[in-house]
């Protein structure tokens, strides 16, 4: 059987686009002699559709999409992802399903069993889990067809009590196919490959694994669809971070190979690489490893590009301060959108150092993107004059610092509104964690590029961007970071050294370690308690923050849900 | 047996406060001769603790809290709510549990079976459901002890396949006790009473039902704990929207009463009242019904008060425009915090009508709260001058309107930062739904008071506030609503008539009806499609909005999760 793997970039709720992509691929599959084309999880509506699934109208649109695809499956069969209604009045209304289409008819509908309900996933909110399992007979094969998470329990995943593949093995399948929408985080591709391989080794069957590609608001799907032969050898691996397709003959996957692949020792578990980092001193090297930075770079480019194209925008604006965060954001935006589509605005104040404007100008010259210089002095002074009757002779403080940041935010939003641009936010994960930013000021924006990238990683990303020559001027990378909101301000006045800060933040955010556990790693108690208090006290700020392109196993945003009025560690 | 019902206001993660409240109540229970004191769901840590539950450290704090309470249970037994660890390596790490403490020991731990995972609830994210059920023997009684949702399936709730009370009835209990954290929405108290009564009628046993009170960020718990006798008669009902306690002798609940209560015809279902509104013409009367407005008023007062006290703030600020939204917000804030703690700022522009300042001043005189008048003209003009080199001679438009709104937001935040105030947001649900507001401008704030109150309800709330005499000047209620950001602007330039708009929004938001269903109710197709498009196109704005005090069955915020880059109905 010849199988066409279609790794596509769908758009949530954009049925015309998704159906068009699927039908086009079916045409190419047929032309290439394929018997079957395999798509990805919930591809007709895009993943994750979230509460749109609560609308009967939305489900009818999904059903209509399947109907529109059916006529194109007369010659080539298709496996697509779409919700399916639960005919039983008991249980939730829907299943997350793989639909098998052939000869213009629906031949089978396979329901997902293991419903992820952690981090960014809410599948138990919408779907009923499968309680029966049937191999799908198709074109002379017996396919063990599963959806995404269904292959992530091999009896050792504490989240689940069922192993769908174990159930299917009673029915003598000869091929495994899994359709997924498995999001990116750095290193997760290795976990994923390992899980697929472990399934292959456990069941002794070849597997074709399709994964979605593209970014949906904050969640990046990285593709990398896979085909393994029955001995556990990787036969085909599709591109990462872009659409890709290939034709696989299943004979290739069942022929005797050079022998069985090495059986890896590690057991399957979520975040296994993150959990492996037991030594606190290995955290920063792990976070900034060149392989991870290359992946993060690709994910951020895709995240920016898809956010704009799917929102129907082409052009961005951002504040370029001469600091490293805005420099890296600007470089990434120029790569994603084209430098002519990214407008940098330099907004010096009386507290800006002389080099700030020079560095930002040099950066935009390197990138060849348009920039404006808009000093904020008169706006800031007018605010102070207007507020003078209220502020009286109270000393300069946080209110005045925030006023400058918000004046910049207001100027950026005004230009964005005037010219139809989206404001890119430049905050990094370390700042967001500690609340070192101004709501409606430097925290403004439609999309956060670096909000899941720790400060130490921002430096590593800058080096990665400069790998083929200096794009980001060296002085931007080497100077001491500063918000420049008061005379001679430095980040280090308010925050611990970033290498130490990021180490604590990683333990707390990614690894969910509490104060006692982090202190026991040999980090100063007062510092640990101060950092954790800062993180928890600033939930209210992050709650009003824009979507953050997710690159880690635990990003701020939809996947991290913390009470605002809580007083834990406060 | 004498049972002390303790309906308390806990604070998430604030273990000292929560344990203190519980120990104090145990002292009063003992003094009043009680045998048993019953508290509410997850009372030691507060409900909902959300992702704090993923921290082992947090669970250890919960366990320590139980340990601290134990010594106070030598004479009076206690039923408290706390997470319990799952000793089985299979399944999630935790149960949501009711702990029975007596004689200084843990006598029983009962696990919750039905885990709500819809709207604001995410319990399946954290908890493993119970799979065995045991009656608790205590003080000569056999107690069928359940946690919240466990009594919400009587065989007819499609979300669940198990009825925990059916299981417990095999073991001949003589009393039902349920500990809850059941949130408020208007009318939900009646649903809740009905559910408890139906359990009583089905099983022929008395029930003591405790409910939490207090607001946790956006979710308001309204109390109203209940005791029913075995015939289905309501014997005791605790206060709504405040802490309350009472002593109940279970003999009262088992003595023959005047006969069985009326058996209501309706079946149990979620949102049953909301679902009952089939006639579109009954929506506005329903939304603005005096009983609902009185409840909404109480919920908003509690929501404001708890947000401030639990965040450790006493004073608020808000922009007072002379319009009805800010007037109602200001009146509510003055009632919740005391007028001396609420600073109104009047910020007229060149587009403000003459009456705006007069009306706002009259309002603050009625309320006796401090106010300032801060014209925005010079700030706005300076922004325009600063932007002139970029804007050139492009005509006045949205950018200039937003600039005014953001200048106001910036002034309010500056005063808030200077004096340690929290900015109250004044946007209503109709505006938020349609995106009729400016990010970082009138959408700024730490807490939204009216974000779950439709515009037609804001009018009804104003009448309710004025029920004993004019607090809100009549002219504020009667004048045509306007944002006053350009000459002679009216809301009706951009939005449909609010009575019609709210009718469509209610069908779409609360009832999840699609365009075809709403049009079939006789509402103009173009208008329906335009309104739904506005709602979906503005997810990106609401995503950056502050917490909204939740008063309806479907509020914007944590309970409504919609993709930002989606194109459904776009």
* H helix or E strand, kind and range, residue B182: none
Taking an 8 Å cut-off on Cβ atoms, the answer to whether B57 and A513 are in contact is yes
Q: Does A170 touch chain B (CB under 8 A)?
A: no
Q: Does the annotation mark A112 as catalytic? A: yes
Q: Does B319 touch chain A (CB under 8 A)?
A: no
What confidence score (pLDDT) does residue A365 get?
A: 98
How far is it, in rounded angstroms, from Cα A320 to Cα A133?
Answer: 56
How far is it, in rounded angstroms, from Cα B451 to Cα A523?
Answer: 43
CATH 3.40.50.2300 fits B280-492+536-542, yes or no: no
Contacts of A90 in chain B (CB under 8 A): 158, 161
Please give the distance of CA A479 from its chain centroid, rounded to a whole number: 30
Cβ–Cβ under 8 Å, residues B417 and B296: no
How far is it, in rounded angstroms, from Cα B205 to Cα B176?
Answer: 7
Contacts of A418 in chain B (CB under 8 A): 387, 390-391, 394, 397, 399
Q: What is the pLDDT of residues A92-104, one digit of tens each?
A: 999 999 999 999 9
What confidence score (pLDDT) does residue A261 get?
A: 53
Facing residue for B50 by CB, picked from A55, A61, A563: A563
* Alpha carbon distance, N-terminus to C-terminus of chain A: 61
Q: What is the pLDDT of residues A373-384, one digit of tens each?
A: 999 999 999 999
Confidence of residue A265 (pLDDT cuts 50, 70, 90): very low
How far is it, in rounded angstroms, from Cα A87 to Cα A344?
Answer: 55
| B85: number of Cβ within 10 Å | 15
Q: Do domains A2-249 and A280-542 have the same CATH topology?
A: no
ipTM comes to 0.95
Cβ–Cβ under 8 Å, residues B13 and A570: yes
Taking an 8 Å cut-off on Cβ atoms, the answer to whether B568 and A52 are in contact is yes
Q: Does A92 touch chain B (CB under 8 A)?
A: yes
Taking an 8 Å cut-off on Cβ atoms, the answer to whether B375 and A383 are in contact is no
Q: What is the pLDDT of residues A267-290, one digit of tens each?
A: 334 344 445 566 778 899 999 999
Q: Which CATH number fits domain A2-249: 3.40.50.720, 3.10.129.10, 3.90.550.10, 3.60.110.10?
A: 3.60.110.10
What confidence score (pLDDT) does residue B268 get?
A: 39
- Picking from B87, B124, B550, B564 by the largest number of A CB atoms within 10 A of its own CB, the best residue to mutate is B564
Record the tokens describing residue A258, joined without a space.
């050079």
pTM: 0.96
Contacts of A390 in chain B (CB under 8 A): 372, 374, 415, 418
What confidence score (pLDDT) does residue A51 get?
A: 98
Q: A400: nearest CA in chain B?
A: B414
How far is it, in rounded angstroms, from Cα B443 to Cα B435?
Answer: 10
Q: What is the CATH number of domain B2-253?
A: 3.60.110.10
What confidence score (pLDDT) does residue B266 get?
A: 41
Record the tokens describing residue A114, joined without a space.
């293991």
Taking an 8 Å cut-off on Cβ atoms, the answer to whether B563 and A402 are in contact is no
Q: Does A393 touch chain B (CB under 8 A)?
A: no
Please give the distance of CA B502 from its chain centroid, rounded to a whole number: 20
Give A540 to chain B, closest Cα distance, Å: 7
Strands (E) located in B75-174:
77-85, 94-102, 105-111, 136-138, 141-147
Residue whose C-alpha is closest to residue A385's, from A488, A377, B484? A377
- Picking from B344, B348, B410, B517 by the largest number of A CB atoms within 10 A of its own CB, the best residue to mutate is B410
How far is it, in rounded angstroms, from Cα A265 to Cα A247?
Answer: 32
How far is it, in rounded angstroms, from Cα A378 to Cα A227?
Answer: 62
Provide the percentage of residues in chain A whose pLDDT is more than 90.
88
How far is it, in rounded angstroms, from Cα A179 to Cα A189?
Answer: 15
Taking an 8 Å cut-off on Cβ atoms, the answer to whether A394 and B418 are in contact is yes
Facing residue for A91 by CB, picked from B161, B513, B544: B161
Residue whose C-alpha is closest to residue A160's, from A123, A211, A197? A123
What confidence score (pLDDT) does residue B256 get?
A: 59
How far is it, in rounded angstroms, from Cα A27 to Cα B84?
Answer: 55
Q: B55: nearest CA in chain A?
A: A512
Cβ–Cβ under 8 Å, residues A193 and A236: no
Q: Does B547 touch chain A (CB under 8 A)?
A: yes
Superfamily of domain A280-542: HUPs (3.40.50.620)
SS3 A79: strand
| B286: number of Cβ within 10 Å | 16
How many beta-carbon contacts under 8 Å exist across A and B? 286
Cis geometry, peptide bond prior to residue A48 (ω within 30 degrees of 0): yes
Sorted by where each begins, the domain ranges of chain B are 2-253, 280-492+536-542
**Mean per-residue pLDDT pooled into runs of 10, chain B (570 residues):** 98 98 98 98 98 98 98 98 95 96 98 97 97 96 98 88 94 98 91 94 97 98 97 96 98 70 44 58 92 96 98 98 97 98 96 91 98 97 98 96 97 98 98 98 98 98 96 96 90 92 97 96 96 96 98 97 91
- Picking from A46, A370, A386, A435 by the largest number of B CB atoms within 10 A of its own CB, the best residue to mutate is A386
What confidence score (pLDDT) does residue B265 get?
A: 41
């Amino acid at each position: 059987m010849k199988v066409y793997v279609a790794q596509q970039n769908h758009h949530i709720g954009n049925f015309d686009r998704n159906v068009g992509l699927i039908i086009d691929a079916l045409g190419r599959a047929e032309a290439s002699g394929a018997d079957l084309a395999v798509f990805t999880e919930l591809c007709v509506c895009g993943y994750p559709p979230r509460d749109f699934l609560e609308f009967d109208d939305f489900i009818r649109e999904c059903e209509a999409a399947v109907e529109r695809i059916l006529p194109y499956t007369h010659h080539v069969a298709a496996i697509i992802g779409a919700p399916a209604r639960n005919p039983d009045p008991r249980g939730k209304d829907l299943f997350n399903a793989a639909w098998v289409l052939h000869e213009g008819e629906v031949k089978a509908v396979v329901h997902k069993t293991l419903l992820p309900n952690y981090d960014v996933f809410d599948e138990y909110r919408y779907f009923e889990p499968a309680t029966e399992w049937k191999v799908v007979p198709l074109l002379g094969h017996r396919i063990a067809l599963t959806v995404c998470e269904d292959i992530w329990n091999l009896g050792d995943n504490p989240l689940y009590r069922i192993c769908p593949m174990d159930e299917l093995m009673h029915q003598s399948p000869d091929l495994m196919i899994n359709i997924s929408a498995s999001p990116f985080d750095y290193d997760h591709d290795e976990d994923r490959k390992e899980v697929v391989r472990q399934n292959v080794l456990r069941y002794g069957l070849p597997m074709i694994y399709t994964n979605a590609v593209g970014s949906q608001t904050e969640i990046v799907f990285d593709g990398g669809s896979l085909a393994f032969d029955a001995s556990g050898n990787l036969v085909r691996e599709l591109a990462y971070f872009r659409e890709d397709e290939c034709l696989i003959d299943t004979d290739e996957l069942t022929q005797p190979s050079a022998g069985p692949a090495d059986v890896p020792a590690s057991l399957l578990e979520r975040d296994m690489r993150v959990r492996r980092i037991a030594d606190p001193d290995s955290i920063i090297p792990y976070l900034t490893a060149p392989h991870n930075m290359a992946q993060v770079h690709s994910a951020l480019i895709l995240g920016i590009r898809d956010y704009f194209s799917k929102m129907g925008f082409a052009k961005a604006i951002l504040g370029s301060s001469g600091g490293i965060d805005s420099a890296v954001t600007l470089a990434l935006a120029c790569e994603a959108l084209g430098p002519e589509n990214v407008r940098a605005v330099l907004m010096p104040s009386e507290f800006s150092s002389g080099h700030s404007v020079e560095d930002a100008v040099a950066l935009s010259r390197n990138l060849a993107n348009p920039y404006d210089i808009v000093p904020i002095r008169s706006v800031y002074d007018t605010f102070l004059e207007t507020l003078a009757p209220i502020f009286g002779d109270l000393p300069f403080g946080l209110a005045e610092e925030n006023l400058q940041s918000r004046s910049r935010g207001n100027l950026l939003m005004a230009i964005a509104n005037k010219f139809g641009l989206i404001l890119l936010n430049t905050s990094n994960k370390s700042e967001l964690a500690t609340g070192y930013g101004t709501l409606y000021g430097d925290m403004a924006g439609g999309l956060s590029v670096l909000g899941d990238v720790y400060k130490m990683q921002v430096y590593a990303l800058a080096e990665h961007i400069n790998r083929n020559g200096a794009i980001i001027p060296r002085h931007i990378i080497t100077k001491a970071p500063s918000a420049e909101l008061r005379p001679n301000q430095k980040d280090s006045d308010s925050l611990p050294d970033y290498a130490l800060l990021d180490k604590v933040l990683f333990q707390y955010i990614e690894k969910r370690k509490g104060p006692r556990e982090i202190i026991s790693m040999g980090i100063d108690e007062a510092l640990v308690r101060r950092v954790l208090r800062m993180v928890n006290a600033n939930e209210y700020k992050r709650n009003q923050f824009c979507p953050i392109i997710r690159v880690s196993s635990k990003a701020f945003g939809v996947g991290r849900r913390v009470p605002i009025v809580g007083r834990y560690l406060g």
